Chains A and B, each alone.
Chain A
């Protein structure tokens, strides 16, 4: 079974993202970019399934500008067999990303597609379910445990009410949550090996998909700041402060 992993490049989660003074976007000059943390977890899960003999091949896919090759090389160094780079100079919205992934699925015929539960840039949490809908296949979102057998997968999902277990027929789309696994570190020899792994480049226009977005972002603004509060010196003062605010 092939596993396709959607592997997005985003501003590193340690960067404190700032809005440009003119409100036209966020600062990206010189900012560190990394794999979306959830996508590293998705890739790790795919690699483990290959190590268990369940998957035969792991393919990482990104839809990103031409300079994202190093990002895909990281995915290859982590252990993916090959990479597909769909080149788009513009950022793509989730519906477009899902349409692109569907095109690749039609050629690759994977048994499982793993995505992050959300990308930490747009925080949309849409691409996985959208892909599953377009593909007319099952989805299991927010996975914290994935058990794959020949024709189905049993997935534990972290939902608001607790842990939900679903069984889905394969092929299926699974979006992963933080507690699914802990991604491995890349070792130096793996970086060397990754250089010779196959990377396919596809211009997004050649896929003939509808890339329209019905939503336009007209302004970016910094969030309202909370006022810095007061420090109290002990518990009686804390209780008094809470009482003064009518909270006790």
Chain B
């Protein structure tokens, strides 16, 4: 996309030592990709279990026990944030104008806001849910939104090479 005007900082990032180090190495990129996929599995698999319970599936498992998985999912996200930032640093002029990449970042932002809403509104409510308790509609919406937004994140990421 040579017709896209990119801020100067994008070129500055591409000129850093770190950018060249990642791009020039034979192994760093595929190794980071593998880590990004393992992080994806922990993040998406872990959140899917908690979200499905929010949506009313597996009612016999108390939500407060299933939610203990969330920190592991967050650690998957941290792995992916670190490897993701390094991908961007290595090839910023490729990612910055890419529409699939922008869609992915938007979905991550929305998923973050959804998680914030969960922390403020749903989590205090969930403390009182016992085994077998149905979940209120607002919790179902938050769980459903979380799954859909993370599917959006994965879709955006996978589409990056196809919309260049």
Check if A and B associate: no
B→A interface (CB under 8 Å): none
